[in-house]
Amino acid sequence: MLKKSPRILIPPEVRKYVYERDKYQCQSCGKREKQLNIDHIIPLAKGGTNDISNLQTLCWQCNQQKKDNLDPRFKRHFT
């Protein structure tokens, strides 16, 4: 069983970086909305970390649907 990582408050400068990196676009459905969330790609409950490389931008609806599951539509392209 994987140990759950502790949840931490994501600093504002990290949130801004993730939103800008993801072009203010949901990384699951592609929508550009005003209400975006920062989400853990690999959920903390499944052993994910708070590292910036494990964070993505999701719209509210996709974040609610994902919950603590892995998103099979995830298509991150690192540059």
Compute the average pLDDT of residues 35-48: 90
Compute the average pLDDT of residues 2-26: 89
Distance CA 34, CA 25 (A): 10
Nearest to 70 by CA among 40, 30, 49, 37: 40
Q: Looking at residue 2, what is its pLDDT? A: 61
> Residue 62: how many CA atoms within 13 Å on its side-chain side?
25
Q: Is residue 57 part of a domain?
A: yes
Q: Is residue 38 part of a domain?
A: yes
Domain count of the chain? Answer: 1
Higher pLDDT, 68 or 12: 12
Q: Is residue 26 part of a domain?
A: yes
Q: Is residue 2 part of a domain?
A: no
CATH number of the domain encompassing residue 17: 1.10.30.50
Q: Looking at residue 33, what is its pLDDT? A: 86
> Residue 57: how many CA atoms within 13 Å on its side-chain side?
21
Q: Looking at residue 79, what is its pLDDT? A: 38
Residue 74 has pLDDT above 60, yes or no: no
Residue 21 has pLDDT above 90, yes or no: yes
Which domain, by its residues, includes 20?
12-66
